Each structure stands twice: as structure tokens, then as C-alpha cells.
């Protein structure tokens, strides 16, 4: 109702401004043109308001991506893939029954047979110690998936073993 009153008042003001007193038909024509212009302005503003509202809703719904969980080494991990390079091209080999390892609090690690050992992390360096064998890796959490990590085997001095690069991909299962 208020919009109608506002529009009617605007029409009256337009007619007063346009009515030059020289000819009633010129004043009427001017008023009609003014009304058409006001209607067009109102119609142009509504789609913009709708578009702006839809943009805000879109940003709120889709712009706020689900927060990626912070990476934690603790938990049970399963080997799912082997990555490498043969000198000519990269390759990926899916692993269906990969080994599982569990990282626990207190730097305890358990292998798929239930044997316990310890682990140490120093930056990207991961040292796994079992009673009869030590393993050394460069350790990389996946940047886009906190449930994945890459372990690249290295020497005890953390020198890369694979000439062209290789890594085992692990996925957190618990």
C-alpha cells in the first residue's frame, strides 16, 4: 500500500514538473513518459535486488566450504596406492589389500600383525622403530584431504631411495 502511495505521489510531482502550461497534451505526454520511466526504474531495481539476494545466499551456502579437518597422524591407516615414476612417466598402482598401521598416543605404532613399536616425527621425517627393524620415510599429509598421507621411503640419512620418486598413499580408516 505504501508503494502505491509513493508511486502516486511521484506521478503527481512528475506531472507538475512536466506541465509547462503551454499545452495540456504536452503536459500529459510528459507525465506519461515520466510514469513509464519510473516504472522502468522500479522494474530494473527489483531484478538487481533479487540478483544481489541470490548472490548472498549462494555465497553463504556454497562459499563456506565444509571445513577440512585438521590432519592427525593418530589412528589406523591403510595403504591404498603406490605412486612412482619410471623415468618417462608417472604411474599409480591401486593396492586392494594394503598393509595397515596404527599410530597411537605416546608415539606407539602397531603393525598389521599386532607388533608394537615406536615412531618419531621431526618435520617431514618419520622414523618407525620395531624390535628387529627400522623404517625411514619422508612424510607428507595430503593438502586437500586430512584423511590421506604419503610416505616416501628414504635411507636412515633421509636420502631419497627411488631415483625418480615414489610414495605409498595411506588412507585413514579409523
125 located within any domain: yes
Tell me the sheet residues that pair with 149: 141, 170
Picking from 43, 15, 10, the residue whose alpha carbon sits closest to that of residue 27 is 15
Residue whose C-alpha is closest to residue 109's, from 126, 97, 124: 126
pLDDT at 40 (0 to 100) = 60
Full pLDDT tens readout for the chain, 174 residues: 444 444 445 444 444 444 444 445 555 655 665 666 666 655 555 566 676 776 677 666 666 555 668 899 999 999 999 999 988 899 999 999 999 999 999 999 999 999 999 999 999 999 999 999 999 999 999 999 999 999 999 999 999 998 888 999 999 998
What is the CA angle 154-156-159, rounded to 5?
Answer: 45
Q: What is the DSSP letter of 66?
A: P
- Residue 165 and residue 79 in one domain: yes
Q: What is the pLDDT, as a whole number, of residue 5?
A: 47
Q: Report if residue 84 sits inside a domain.
A: yes
Number of domains in the chain: 2
Which letter does DSSP use for residue 61 in this model? I
Residue 91 and residue 139 in one domain: yes
CATH number of the domain to which 125 belongs: 2.40.128.280
pLDDT of residue 65: 57
Q: Cβ(155)–Cβ(136) under 8 Å?
A: yes
What is the dihedral angle through the alpha carbons of 42, 43, 45, 51, rounded to the nearest 10 degrees? Answer: 160
pTM: 0.61
Structural domain including 33 reads: 2-63
Amino acid at each position: 500500500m505504501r508503494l502505491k502511495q509513493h508511486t502516486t505521489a511521484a506521478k503527481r510531482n512528475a506531472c507538475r514538473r512536466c506541465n509547462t502550461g503551454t499545452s495540456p497534451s504536452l503536459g500529459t505526454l510528459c507525465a506519461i513518459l515520466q510514469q513509464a520511466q519510473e516504472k522502468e526504474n522500479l522494474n530494473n531495481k527489483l531484478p538487481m535486488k533479487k540478483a544481489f539476494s541470490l548472490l548472498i545466499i549462494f555465497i553463504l551456502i556454497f562459499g563456506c566450504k565444509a571445513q577440512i579437518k585438521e590432519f592427525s597422524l593418530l589412528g589406523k591407516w591403510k595403504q591404498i596406492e603406490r605412486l612412482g615414476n619410471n623415468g618417462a612417466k608417472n604411474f599409480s598402482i591401486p593396492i586392494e589389500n594394503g598393509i595397515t598401521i596404527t599410530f597411537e598416543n605416546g608415539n606407539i605404532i602397531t603393525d598389521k600383525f599386532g607388533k608394537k613399536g615406536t615412531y618419531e616425527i621431526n618435520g617431514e621425517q618419520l622414523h618407525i622403530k620395531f624390535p628387529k627393524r627400522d623404517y625411514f620415510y619422508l612424510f607428507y599429509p595430503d593438502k586437500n584431504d586430512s584423511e590421506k598421507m604419503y610416505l616416501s621411503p628414504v635411507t636412515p640419512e633421509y636420502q631419497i631411495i627411488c631415483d625418480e620418486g615414489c610414495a605409498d598413499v595411506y588412507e585413514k580408516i579409523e
